[in-house]
Amino acid sequence: MDNLSENVKRGNRQKLRNGVWPSKAPYGYINNPKTRGIDIDEEKSKIVKKAFQLFTEGGKSFVEISRFLHKFGIKKLDGEPVKVDQVKNMLLNRFYLGVLKYAGEYYQGSHKTFISKKLFDEVQKQIEKIERPRNKGHNFAFSGLAKCGECNAAITAETHTKIYPKTRGEVQYIYYRCTKKLKPCNQKYINEPELEGQLMQIVRDCGLHEDWEPNFKKWIVEAEEKDKLTAEIETKQLNEQVQETEIKLNRLLDGYLDQVIEPEIYKQKKNELFEEKLKLEEKKSQIEKNGNSWLTCYDSPRLSFL
């Protein structure tokens, strides 16, 4: 029995090294009994892709995505809708990017993908957005927009209620103030209309002088050429870093096979290098897609509150 278990584990490890998922195929894929590989399910892959797209549009919960999948035939074995945690795991699963994670260890998959990196990243942002802790109560218009000009601490907002018994009744006013969490600060409250005025002044100060208009086209062309050259240089550097990471992974594997490196250390270091490689590939993909934007905001404007 022990030999059988070890043989199964050995077989799974070999599959993973070859980039083949050794377990049940994720939604949108199908296990191929002939090749013992994973193939794209032509019908269900379209449903899964549409689920990803719907989720990026916002306003869709995991429950609603589960209902959508169920409506078009992706369901549990008993016919019930897939559970919420299964939907979330599907949307988080890097398998759709060609990355295998098995028993806490990463492998490069050999299967074809049908979810683009852009779509996958948009889904991750949406998940972060809906799971981000929210402040209970009011959703203030300028929350998270500014930092204190004196101490650089965050700005918070709160409502103050004033009662006018004979005229207006109960009226709420919104005030913004420094949280004063970094160091002592002398700044006081500021009401929302005054804050709005400061913000509008900052926007007005960002305007470009009309005398510069004849030079706009020339500056844009020069900036685009510089951006293109910078992108090419950075892509080359990233390719070199990816190759270096691949070399490190191969050396690490050699050390593990030669029993110089302990299994747990090998697994830890391999995952670290694999994560590094994924980040490099992501940066390269971003540059190839967008280049290096020459309109860069170096620092967020800070309202003075003086």
pLDDT computed for residue 114 by the predictor: 95
On the 0-12 / 13-18 / 19+ scale of CB atoms within 10 A, 95 is buried
DSSP symbols for 25-70: PPTTEEEETTTTEEEE-TTHHHHHHHHHHHHHTSS--HHHHHHHHH
| Residue type (1 letter), 246 | E
User: For 183-235, what is each residue's pLDDT tens digit?
Assistant: 888 888 888 888 888 888 888 777 667 777 778 778 888 888 888 888 888 88
Query: Picking from 51-55, 92-96, 231-235, which range would have the lowest pLDDT averaged per residue?
Result: 231-235
DSSP symbols for 90-152: HHH-GGGGTEEEETTEEEE--S---S-HHHHHHHHHHHHHHHS---SS---TTTTS-B-TTT-
Q: Is 154 helix (H, G, I), strand (E, B) or coil?
A: strand
The confidence band for 134, taking pLDDT boundaries of 50, 70 and 90, is low
pLDDT computed for residue 274 by the predictor: 84
| Residue type (1 letter), 56 | T
The confidence band for 263, taking pLDDT boundaries of 50, 70 and 90, is confident
The confidence band for 13, taking pLDDT boundaries of 50, 70 and 90, is confident
Look up tokens 């948009």; give the residue: 122
pLDDT computed for residue 298 by the predictor: 38
The Cα–Cα gap between 18 and 156 comes to 53
User: For 228-255, what is each residue's pLDDT tens digit?
Assistant: 888 888 888 988 998 898 898 888 888 8
**CB of 209 within 8 A of CB of 180?**
no
Q: What percent of the chain has pLDDT over 70?
A: 89
* Average pLDDT across the chain, whole number: 83
The confidence band for 290, taking pLDDT boundaries of 50, 70 and 90, is low
* Global pTM value: 0.58
Contacts for 158 with CB less than 8 Å, ≥ 6 apart: 174, 175, 177
| Residue type (1 letter), 93 | N
pLDDT computed for residue 135 by the predictor: 52
pLDDT computed for residue 136 by the predictor: 54
Look up tokens 């559970």; give the residue: 83
pLDDT computed for residue 1 by the predictor: 54
Q: Is 258 helix (H, G, I), strand (E, B) or coil?
A: coil
pLDDT computed for residue 42 by the predictor: 93
- Say yes or no to pLDDT of 61 above 50: yes
